[in-house]
Each structure stands twice: as structure tokens, then as C-alpha cells.
Structure 1
């Protein structure tokens, strides 16, 4: 039994919801720092205010993936999560620009990011569920196209409302401008309607059909069965890994306390202690032959396919670079390029309005090249194509330090756009063949750890570096981001695809 080849328009329909998802994501990325600054945040506070969102994603993504793998309703397997996340995200998009205080805005960002992830993560597994292997690259490229297109319009909305429709882009101190508010309102509507289109226009295979595909995949891959000795070794490795993480986290946390280092660092290393304890607890439960959702979720983190582990480092440094850009582009452009730090001034708001235009350019480039990257990958391979794209992105970020004009800033975003298109498609194309289809949703969720963890790292250390090392000059955070993106490209060369499946527990 094989999955049928879908038409172009069927793939279009099943990916269309990503247009709205990225609409909301672009509004969040381009305007959240501006909202925080307007509500009184200092530049060194912004990273820690962002951190609630990725921490939430770290918990939400694998759980949603795990349960969506095991869901079947009248709406299907993944589609209930698309719809629930869209409703919650639309509500958060309406609340965000009306936040009366900084902490309400930070809490709304938490809700918004969690809701977007509820919709977004099953979309990645949706490609694996519905498309045969030969069409998955096209499926991920289609998602990249909609991500780029949605982000173009979403990022441009504040500029459009203020410059085309005359809606004010300034407001009294502590009040979000109307141009930003109306952008979020429109974003909420688009998010809900596009996801609803995918829910209505797409179909999913039944659990029985998916089980037949899984059986065929296992037979084709000649899976490696886990013996009792292998399981015992795996349990011991999980215990030792947990002990190591807990000890390292505790020692570094004590060092942070003893030397009065920045408190944001606790988030990383106390989190490491918690994960270590979870690993130790799970190993104990597995030794007693206890098997439930908790033990499966934690154990499968340890048993990731080798290809996924190698791609993890690529994702880490790629997304560290992207997060540095999303946090600090507004502050770098207003302060370094245009020389203003007063959020109530016209010059500041004109410069801040240019940042969404910059983001529009890189997302537009991503949409334009989305279908060219698979062609280039056929001429070379996925790894070389990803390396070239990431190096161009890194050069684009670093070049902002040397620029002094609006036009130059747009040119810098071309390289970032090529990298963004590649980040959204090629790692998933390299990964998908190594994942067991019965755990597609879960592992796609876990794979996003390597999107979330670098965000936490960036949020915990970049604020410290900008304040203590770079004398409150956020443009240097973009240089670090550019170097990180180039490094991620080089790490791509060590990725080896492996389609043999390990069947554990």
C-alpha cells in the first residue's frame, strides 16, 4: 500500500494555512520589541521578556506532536490542532497591541507563541503524513513559499497603514501606535481564515491506512530490533545522561549565584537540572517496565535518529542567528544606523517602521527562491545548497554594521532571505526520511527543541553581552548572529542521512 501522488493544488490547499500562521509570526517578530520598548522596557531587558515564548514552545511542541500522532476525530489527526491553535492565536493577536503594561504584553507573547506552535508543529508532520517521499521536498518548499508570502504582507502592514492609509505611527508615551494595532487586528482575521481553509479543503489518511503505510515502511527499511540487552544499556545511558545534566546544571547555577552573574543565566542551567531529573526518573520507571506517555516522550528524546542529532547543531546556530536578528534589528537600525534611541520621536518611529520593510524583503526573497532551492539541490545536494544559503545569510547580517542608508539595509536582507528559505525547507527534507512515520509528529516537535533552545540561549546571554561587553550597542549582537549562521552552514557538511529506523519500546 502506497500513498497516492497529490496534485499541485492539493499540496497548495494543505499548505495554505501556513500563510496565516506566518502572518501572525511575522507581526510578532517585527513588532514585539517595539511594543516592549514603547511600554518602558530597556534594551537589555528585551531578550528576557522574549524568553517566555520559547520556553513555552519547548514544552508545547513535543506534547502536541505526541498527542497529534495518537489523535483521530471527525476533523482528522492534525487538523483539530490547526484549528484550536488558530483560534487561540487570533485572540492573542487582538490582545497584544492593547496591552496596558509591559508584563501583560510579555504574558500575551507567551500565549501567542504557544498558540502559534499548536497550529504550526502539526503542519510539518502533515507533509510526512500525506505525501509520498518523492513529494516531500515539494511539500516543504510549498510551506516555505507561504511562510515567505505571509511574512511579506505581515511585516509590511504597519508601514502600509501609516504610509498608504494615513493611520498614525506615533502615539503618546506608553501607548501602541494605531498602525501597529490595526496590523495585529488584520493578522488575527487572516490567521483564522487561512487555517480554516486548510481544515476544510484537506483530507487525512485514516489510522488504518497510516498503520499500513507504517508496516510497509518498516519492511522496506529492515528496521533494527531492540534486544533486552540493548534496552538495558539504553536505560543506563538515560540514567547517566540525567545525572550528568543535573550535576552540570547545579554546579553552573551555584557558580552564577556565587559570582552574582546575570540572573537570566539561571533559566538555562536550572532548566538543565530539571531535564536531568526527568531523565533519571524515566530511567527508573523504565527499569520497572512502566510505559506511558511521559516515559515515551522523555525516552524518545534520547533515542533520536543520528541524522536528527547532526542536524540539531545546524538548527541551533541557524536559529541563534535568527533570534539575534529578531530581537536586535530594531534597536540596531534605530540606534546604530539612524542614531536615535527616543521611541517618542518621529525619527525613531520612521526608522522602526523601516525594520518591517526589511523583514518584508527577506521574506519576499524567501518566497521567490523557495522553489529554486530544490532545483539547486538536484544539481549539487541538500548539504551544499544549505551551506551556500546560510553563508549568504550570515554575510547579510554582518553587513548591517557597515551600512548607513535604507537602501543598503534592504540589500543586506537578500542574503538573509535566501538563508531563511533554506532553513524552512532543506533541514526538514534531510530529516524526514530518517523518521518513523508513527512518530512523525513527535519528532517534528522535538526537532523544534533546536529552534527553541538557541532562542533561550540568545535571550539569556545576548542581553548580558550587549550591556556588559558591547556598551549597549546592539548592532554587535547582529554580528554574532551572522558568524553563528556561517558556522551552521559549515556544520551542515557533517550531516549523514540514514533511513534505517531504530524501533525502541
Structure 2
């Protein structure tokens, strides 16, 4: 028996919290580089300062997914995490504009990213919990609509506050402009209220309900040793990490690359420890179960992981470099205290609003297109549109024409937020949606970690002071994602597009 079909307003309530989460996420994406540069960071320092996002996502999402699969309280199993993450995110957003030093801003970015991840991961599993297979493409598309709408509101907030409320968008050296401060205050309030709406207006299915609907097996405790897949290759990951350390030291490479080596070594050690515990039949813990599920990914999930890796590599390059690219290449300004720089930074907010607005509108037709072309072909074409949008930055000098570029990026963004999850959700065991959605996030944060540790070195070595060349690199990765997506299994979706 499939789950009951939900109506428009029920779909609205399930996903409305993502409207607030994305406001916080987009405020961060459009303004954090600006804040870092205002507090004295150089362009080459930006990637490493952004490392908070990938590291917290890598650690937090699989753990939250694992825990939420096993949680059941009077508030449900996913909603407690929505609420806790929203409270912490609101605190971080209110505090961020008062960071008086670069290290404080970097620390607040860690807090904000961790908090957003606590709320965000269970929302992905929530759609799978609440919707039958016939409505999942529509459910994730609906979520994308709210993501786009929230990002539009957040992206234009500073420029609207400046132009319509008369709040200054400039400030003395080392001081965050008032328009940015007020945007963060409003964003914190919106995030909390939107998530609270979903928490109050929805009721989760109990484990008994899910078992009656079929396809769900209750998780009553830790997995047995016979249920675990022993992870392999830990020694090789450890050696790879040691090799990176040695190369950085030998060739005097940038210190941020030590973080990459440390991450590889830590993953290898975790696999070695987990395998040893399983072989000794020691008590099964969360680490062993998470690594076992990671090792046991299905072929579809593995290919989707590669698609996500390339897609998010391109996206993270844009989020880091959009402000310096536009302010230098289109506005001809590099001084964060100048009017031209701050006008360019405000225009980046408008451009981010454009691509998110396009994504919100395009998400309405995505289920219809996917039902006719198939999900893999649809995703491939959309990613190719994003690659074209990135590449066009290199040839455009008029800031207004960048709106056209962002239309292509918006098409890709809508697809990235919808199609992989719709494809994946039907290929996962329903009692482990949380952990697998959290593990899937690894292939979103790994490219961000690589960009954070590598792009600073690439930038300073190959195009110092010319961040515009980061955009063709982003285009190449997005095109690679499209090529890999073309190889996903092609099958007719027997459930149709569903209804939005």
C-alpha cells in the first residue's frame, strides 16, 4: 500500500521550512566573501575561510541522518532536528554582522553551517517519509521552489534595504555595512518562523503507520555484525593522506592542503578502526554502521555521487568567486571600501536572486519534463545549460548581461536540487532514508572541501589577481557532471510526474 496522496497545501507545509533555511544559506553565500574581504581577507584567502561549510556538512549530515532514522519523540523523528537547527542558525545569523575580526567571522561561519546542516539533512528524508513514489519528483520540485524563493529574498535583501530604505551599503574599513547587518537580522527571523511553520503544521507518520504502508522495516537497535559490510581500502586512504602531507612539506605548497591530507588520513583511520571492531565482533556503533552503509551504496547512488561531486565543485567555485569576479571584471573595482566595489557586490546579490528565481519557476515544470524525457536526460540537459552560463562570464563585460548567464545557472540549480533526490529516493531502503541522504551529502561537501583547499593555490599560481578564470573551471566541472549524468540508467518513470 502506497502512502496517501497529498494536496497542494500539504505539500506546501512539508517544504515551507526550506524557504527559511535557504534564506540563511543564501545570505551566507552572497555576503560572506564580502564580509571576509571587509575584515581584511585577500582573494586567495577566501577558499580556506569557506572551509567551514564542507567540513561541517561532512561530519554533521551523516550523523544527523543516522540519528533521525532512529529517533521517535512526541514531536516526531525529523522535526526535532528541524527545530534545533533553526534555533542555532538564528543565533548565528543575528551574531554574524557583529563579527569585529576575521577569526570571529570564520568561527561564526562554522556555527551557521553546522546549524543549517542539522535542519537541512532531515528535510530531504522528510519528503521520502511523507510522500508516496508517485509524488516524490513533485515533492522535491516543490522543495526546490521554496529554496529558490528563499534565496531570491535573501540575495536581494541588502540592495533593497539600501535603495528603498535608505540604509548605507558602505562603511569604514573593517566595519560590515549596515545594509548587510539588517539583512542578516531579517534573515534570522525568517528562518526560524518558516521552520516553525513546518514543525507545527505537519504530523509525521509513526513507525507503525510506515510499516502498514509497506516497504518499511523498523530499526529497533544497532545492526548485528552479520548485517555490516566491512569497509575496505582504509590503508590506502591513510597512505594517500600521508602522501599529501609529504608533498605539501616537500614542495612548500600552501598550508590549506594539509587539511586535505588530514581528511584523507582520518577517513582511512576510521575505516581501519571500524573494520577491526567488526572482525573482533566488538559492540556495533554509529561509525561502523555509517561506514558500512557508505560501502554498500547501490550502483545508481554511486553514479549519482559522481554527478553531485562535479556539480557542486562548480557551484562552490561560483559562490566563492562571484563577488571578486563581478566587482573586478564587470565593475573594475578591487577595493572593498570603494563605492564601485560595493555596488558590484550588491549586483552579485541580484544575480544570485536571478538564478534562484529561475530555479523556483523552472521547478514547476521539471516533473512534467522529466516524465517525458526521463530523469537522467533531463538532468543532463539542465547541467549543460549551467555550464554554458558559467562559461559566458568570461566574455561578458556588461553587468546587466550577466542576467542571461544566470538563467542557465538557475536551470542547472533547479535540477541539482530536484532530480538526484527523486532518482535516489526510489532506490533506497525506506527505513534508512536519513542515513543515505546524509551519506549522499558527502559528495556535495567533498568538492567544496577540495575547492577550499586547492583553489587558493590554483588561483595564486595560474591567475593571480584575475579571479575571472575561475568561471571557465566551473564550466568544465558542470559539463563533466552532465556527461556522467548521461550514463545513468534510463527507464520510464512508471509513476508519472505527480502533481504540484
User: What's 2:237 paired with?
Assistant: 245
Q: How far apart are the structure 1 equivalents of 2:244 and 2:105?
A: 31
Q: Which moved more, 1:283-292 or 1:87-96?
A: 283-292
For 1:409-448, list aligned pairs within 5 A. 409-448=402-441
**Corresponding residue for residue 388 of structure 1:** 381
* Preserved contact between residue 244 and residue 260 of structure 2 (Cα < 8 Å): no
For the residue of structure 1 that corresponds to 2:345, the secondary structure is: helix
CA contact (8 A) 2:66 2:434 kept: yes
Structure 1 residue 3, shift from structure 2 partner:
1.6
Residue in structure 1 matching 2:281, options 289, 301, 315? 289
How well do the aligned residues superpose, as a CA RMSD in angstroms? 1.7
Deviation at 1:292, TM superposition (A): 2.3
Give, in whole Å, the separation in 1 of the partners of 2:248 and 2:145.
44
Q: Number of matched residues?
A: 485
What residue number does 1:274 align with? 266
* Correspondence 1:451-470 to 2 at 5 A: 451-470=444-463
1:265 to 257, 264, 270: 257
Q: Residues 2 and 133 of structure 2 are in contact (CA less than 8 Å); yes or no, is this contact kept in structure 1?
A: no
Structure 2 distance, partners of 1:450, 1:308, is 10
| 1:480 matched to 2:434 | no
Q: Quote the offset at 1:496 in angstroms.
A: 2.8
Contact 1:434 1:497 in 2 (8 A): no
Question: What's the offset of the Cα at 1:212?
Answer: 3.8
Is the Cα–Cα contact under 8 Å of residues 376 and 490 in structure 2 kept in the other structure?
no
In the TM superposition, residue 267 of structure 1 has moved relative to its aligned partner by 1.2
SS of residue paired to 2:43: coil
Alignment correspondent of 1:223: none
**SS of residue paired to 2:466:** coil
Tell me the residue number matched to 1:501. Answer: none
Tell me if structure 2 keeps the 8 A contact 1:430–1:497: no
1:450 to 443, 447, 453: 443
CA distances 1:259-313 after superposition (whole Å, capped 9, x unpaired): 1111111111221111111101111111122322221112111111221111011
Q: 1:355 aligns with which of 348, 355, 363?
A: 348
Q: Which runs of no fewer than 5 residues in structure 2 stay unpaired? A: 218-223, 492-500
Residue 333 of structure 2 aligns to a residue in which SS? Answer: coil
Structure-2 separation of matches of 1:179 and 1:480:
32
> What is the aligned partner in structure 1 of residue 205 from structure 2?
205
SS of equivalent residue, structure 1 residue 425: helix
State the Cα distance separating 1:210 from its structure 2 match.
2.4
Task: Report the more deviating stretch, 294-303 or 324-333.
Answer: 294-303
- State the 4+ residue runs in structure 1 displaced beyond 3 angstroms: 215-218
User: SS of 1:258's equivalent?
Assistant: helix
Cα deviations across residues 114-160 of structure 1 (Å, max 9, x unaligned)? Answer: 10011111000001111101111111000000000010011000010
**What SS class does the counterpart of residue 164 from structure 1 fall into?**
helix
Corresponding position of 1:66 = 66
2:78/2:123 contact within 8 Å kept: yes
- Are the equivalent residues in 2 in contact too, given 1:5–1:135 (CA < 8 A)? yes
Contact residue 56 and residue 110 of structure 2 kept, 8 A = yes
Q: What are structure 1's unaligned runs of at least 5 residues? A: 219-225, 499-505
1:325 maps to what in 2? 318
Is 2:144–2:363's contact at 8 Å kept on the other side of the alignment?
yes
CA distance in 2, matches of 1:85, 1:52: 16
Output the CA distance in 1 between the equivalents of 2:53 and 2:225: 40
